[in-house]
Amino acid sequence: MEVNPIILKFVYAAIVVSVIMGLCSYAVLAERKISSWIQGRVGPNRTSLPLVGGIPVIGPFLTRLGIFQPIPDGLKFLFKEDVLPGHVNKFYFMMAPVISLVPALTTVVVVPFGRFVNEAGEVMPLVLANVNVGLLFLFAISSLGVYGVVLAGWSSNSKYPFLGGIRASAQMISYELAMGVSVLPILMWVNAPGKEGTLNLFDIALAQNGFWFAMWMPLSAIIFLVCLFAETNRLPFDMAESETELVSGFHTEYSSFKFGLFFVGEYAHMVIGSCVFALLFLGGWNPMPFVTLEALGMGQGIPGAVLSVGIFLGKMCAMMFFFMWIRWTLPRFRYDQVMKLGWTVLLPLSIANLILYTFIIYYLDTSL
């Protein structure tokens, strides 16, 4: 029986989106557990499900780990009162959380989570849409996320969110530049002369069967990482939110599920950002530099595909851990310092890096 490919795509999309949402909710748990680990606390360890929690040994163990905590965390958003303040611009106020979440979930379509090698030896990406513009699409869509924050700040018609919205828009626009420029060396390297040009994330990952790009373009990796922190609004760059100055910044007036969408959106951005970093700089699903799954003889068929997805998600989780580690260690920048860092340090540095790699790649292409 032949399944309609469009229906199949919908099924895949549903699977991927639910996986991402699941990852987000468990990222919240991870955030809570890691922060408590860093701060010498215990973290969530009480929530239990009626039947599962009753299983001897395993039930209490899972409860102790806080495995069930995301369920009440999520339900809380649903059941709390949804306050719609009288002074807001209702249309934009309601639209803002959606706008901040949708781009984050949309970018998922071009992120390959692994690869599948069929019997003929062809390597195929496990991706929703294997489009050639991959990276460009990703940047274009993810930068739309800032509208959610700006609209939220603006439509709240309240002072702290307003300031948060201004901060967010300035910061995100500034860091997008450096971020974009910092990945250009990779694109130059992948699109060697004479080859068909591509911006596909899958091809970029495949280009890292030898060196990982983090190893031979470390500066790009660092700049990209810093910009990623700024783009995802995480501490030390959480200007828009900075709860001790602007109370909660752009989402001060939000409650219940609308706040939940912002919350999930932030973590979805983090998940996608970690995925992209792993693809661009950490070799995608290659277990080690110079070692591919094929070389280990484990790349074939479905087990190989599962393994590649596992390795990729492992790298993503490591990145997520790094995000959280930084958040609970460093103080927050000041708004003007963030702007200064973006414009006077990261942007010139990324341009210098671009010029340097232009010459290196030119040299490698012509004389070797």
Asked if residues 273 and 228 have their Cβ atoms less than 8 Å apart, the reply is: yes
Q: Mask: binding to other proteins, 85-104, rule CB under 8 A, as x and -?
A: --------------------
Q: Could you give the string, one character per residue 147-186, with x where binding to other proteins holds by CB under 8 A and - elsewhere?
A: ------------xx--x---x-------------------
Task: Answer for the pair 37, 65: CB distance below 8 angstroms, yes or no.
Answer: no
Choices 23-31, 218-226, 276-284, 331-339 (CB under 8 A): range interacting with other proteins: 331-339
Q: 8, 14, 15, 38: which one contacts other proteins (CB under 8 A)? A: 38
Polymer length of the chain: 368
331 lines the binding site for other proteins (CB under 8 A): yes
Q: Are 129 and 177 a contacting pair, CB within 8 Å?
A: no
3-state SS record for 194-238: CCCCCCCHHHHHHCCCCCCHHHHCHHHHHHHHHHHHHHCCCCCCC
Q: Which stretch binds other proteins (CB under 8 A): 87-95, 174-182, 208-216, 237-245?
A: 237-245
Binding residues for other proteins, total number by CB under 8 A: 28
Residue with tokens 């060396």: 185
Computed on alpha carbons and rounded to an integer, the radius of gyration of the chain in Å comes to 22
| Shortest spacing between CB 226 and other proteins, in angstroms | 12
- Residue (345 or 364) nearer to other proteins, CB: 345
Judged by CB, which is closer to other proteins: 200, or 252? 252
Can you spell out the DSSP letters for 43-106?
A: -S-----TTGGGSTTHHHHHHHHTTTTHHHHHHHHHHS-----TTS-HHHHHHHHHHHHHHHHH
Establish if 236 lies at the interface with other proteins (CB under 8 A): yes
**Is 337 a residue that touches other proteins (CB under 8 A)?**
yes
Would you tell me which residues interact with other proteins (CB under 8 A)? 35, 38-41, 159-160, 163, 167, 235-236, 238, 242-247, 328-337
